[in-house]
């Protein structure tokens, strides 16, 4: 176990709400229209300073996907997931892309997001 090497991001970025580790640039957002169990989730082209979990198949409202959970490298909290593979043709654009759950991260201005209380369907 060595010292964790963190990548610095320049500009406006989303960061871990527990330890402020930088994750992803505002400029790398592909879509803000995702929903997860805890409200809003954003699709990013690139996310840094995360480690990945085991691959698993998940059936989402948009079909079957192979995903890995992503974790903050500094504090180990789960922050979202990465799409390894999508099986529906219309969903292929998500392959290799990342979801950050909005309530897990701080916004570029340090803002927190509180998830709605009512249950929302999986992304």
Q: Which residues bind Zn ion (CB under 5 A)?
A: 16, 18-19, 21, 72, 74-75
Least spacing, CB of residue 15 vs Zn ion, in Å: 8
- Decide whether 18 or 97 has the Cβ nearer to Zn ion: 18
- Decide whether 25 or 79 has the Cβ nearer to Zn ion: 79
- Decide whether 41 or 100 has the Cβ nearer to Zn ion: 100
The CA-based angle 84-23-59, given to 5 degrees, is 30
Least spacing, CB of residue 4 vs Zn ion, in Å: 11
Least spacing, CB of residue 79 vs Zn ion, in Å: 8
Least spacing, CB of residue 75 vs Zn ion, in Å: 3
- Decide whether 22 or 60 has the Cβ nearer to Zn ion: 22
């Amino acid at each position: 176990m060595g010292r964790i090497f963190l990548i610095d991001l320049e500009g406006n970025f989303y960061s871990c709400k527990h330890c402020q580790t930088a994750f992803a640039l505002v400029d790398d957002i592909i879509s803000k229209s995702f929903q997860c169990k805890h409200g809003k989730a954003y699709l990013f082209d690139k996310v840094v300073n995360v480690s990945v979990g085991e691959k698993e198949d998940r059936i989402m409202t948009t079909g079957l996907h192979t995903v890995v959970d992503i974790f903050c490298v500094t504090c180990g909290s789960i922050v979202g997931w990465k799409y390894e593979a999508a099986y529906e043709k219309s969903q292929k654009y998500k392959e290799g892309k990342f979801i950050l759950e909005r309530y897990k991260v701080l916004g570029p201005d340090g803002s927190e997001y509180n998830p709605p209380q009512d249950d929302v369907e999986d992304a």
